[in-house]
Amino acid sequence: MIELKDVSKTYRTGVKALRNINLTISDGEFCFIVGKSGSGKSTLVRLLTKELDTDSGSIIVNDTDLRKLRRSRVPAYRRRLGVVFQDFRLLEDRTVYENIAFAQLIIGKSDAEIFENVTKILGLTGLSSKADSYPRQLSGGEQQRTAIARALVNRPEILIADEPTGNLDHENAEEIMKLLERINAQGTTVIVITHDREMVNRMNRRTVSMSMGEIISDRIPGTASGSATYTEDSAKKSILLPFEKPELSVRKPFMAETPEEAIDSEEKTDWTEDWEEDWDEEEDWLDDEFDSPVYSEKKPTRGLRGAHRPHHKSAKEGTK
């Protein structure tokens, strides 16, 4: 269970990102969090991943009080979460198999465990035939499924997906949402951050709407508050803000459009940036650039490519 009580967060320039947030998400729930840029969604997610600390209030995730969580225990806590980024953050010079195996390698899994777990997750996400493909050879939907597979391979209790369909066409978006539903049906708590109005209406799941750092609506299907659907017209006539189409994720310098975004960018930590490191020097990955608290206390001593994969089998053979 995720429980936020009276959570507030103010950035150092004085902008209040979150104001007295109270929210409970039950184990195994599927929940959308929606709102326009600057509404506080990203700050909320970064509090859950322990990138930021609250100024006041408490956050308890599966009996772990994040206020009391020691820095040395943050890596272990984060391994209980799976995070899917909008821009995928795949290693371009590594195969699908190797991208997924990376998440297991950094927590010290054995070669046999990595092969077994990656093979299973390839089957779940429908990527068995793409195990030896590189990201540049994949469609947008396949790249997103690879990112989801990487987030799932360590069997997280909670999966957080940031705009998982933002860069996809309708068909691929439908496939991704069906995959997230299958994952949720197996007991994983799924939290989806999105602007996709049509998808929210179609899925008919719990939807928490945010504006200016506050929760302004919490709609649960099957209740009086959950019967309405979202449209741009109805949103303009109510307290709900209209949904926006997310911009395509393009590699370009960050340019803030609002003071909140500018502040948010200043506060960014580096725990997600290591996914984009250049892997030309394979055996140097234990150097200082990876000396980050997100990684396991027990770091592996072998390189990424090939060492974790049995020579007598391929991922494809293992899924037959």
Evaluate if residue 219 carries a pLDDT over 80.
yes
Task: Determine the Cα–Cα distance for residues 300 and 114; give it in Å rounded to an integer.
Answer: 12
For the segment 85-96, what is each residue's pLDDT rounded down to a tens digit?
Answer: 878 989 999 999
Q: How does pLDDT run across 98-134, given as a tens digit for each residue?
A: 999 999 998 999 999 999 999 999 999 999 999 999 9
Rounded to the nearest 5°, which phi and psi values hold at 30?
-115, 120
Measured between alpha carbons, how far is 75 from 313 in angstroms, rounded to an integer? 32
pLDDT digits (tens, 9 = 90+) for 224-271: 555 444 333 333 332 333 333 333 333 333 333 344 443 344 343 343
- Band of residue 195 on the pLDDT scale cut at 50, 70, 90: confident
Confidence of residue 169 (pLDDT cuts 50, 70, 90): confident
Distance of CA 179 to the CA centre of its chain: 14
Q: What is the count of structural domains for the chain? A: 1
Tell me the Cα Rg of the chain.
20
**What is residue 215's predicted lDDT score, i.e. its pLDDT?**
97
Average pLDDT of span 299-310: 50
Using the predicted structure, report yes or no on whether residue 312 has a pLDDT greater than 70: no
Instruction: Kindly report the number of other CB atoms within 10 A of residue 165's CB atom.
Output: 26
Model confidence band, residue 318 (pLDDT cutoffs 50, 70, 90): very low
> CA-to-CA distance for 116 and 1, rounded, in angstroms?
29
In 3D space, the residue among 106, 114, 154, 151 whose CA is nearest the CA of residue 298 turns out to be 106
> Tell me, what CATH number does 302's domain have?
3.40.50.300
The model's confidence at residue 308, banded by pLDDT at 50, 70 and 90, is low
Number of H-type helices and E-type strands within the chain: 10, 10
Please give the Cα distance from 242 to 235 (Å, whole number): 5
Q: Of 143, 109, 112, whose CA–CA distance to 126 is shortest? A: 143
Which tokens hold the place of 92? Answer: 């371009």
Please give the pLDDT value at position 306. 53
Looking at residue 185, its pLDDT comes to 96
| CA gap 271, 48 in Å, rounded | 14
pLDDT of residue 87: 84
Say yes or no to pLDDT of 313 above 80. Answer: no
| More reliable by pLDDT, 137 or 269 | 137
Q: How confident is the model at residue 197 (pLDDT cuts 50, 70, 90)?
A: confident
137: which residues sit within 8 A by CB, 6+ positions away?
130
CB contact at 8 A, 100 and 124: no
| Nearest alpha-carbon partner for 272 in 12, 45, 32, 37 | 45
Give the DSSP per-residue string, 57-71: EEEEETTEETTT--G
Q: Which of 50-54, 104-108, 163-167, 184-188 has the lowest mean pLDDT?
A: 163-167
Single out the residue of 256, 262, 204, 242 nearest to residue 36, CA to CA: 242
- Contact of 122 with 96, CB cutoff 8 Å: yes
Of the chain, the percentage scoring pLDDT greater than 90 comes to 56
**What mean pLDDT is predicted for residues 192-202?**
87
Provide the domain limits for residue 250.
2-276+284-318
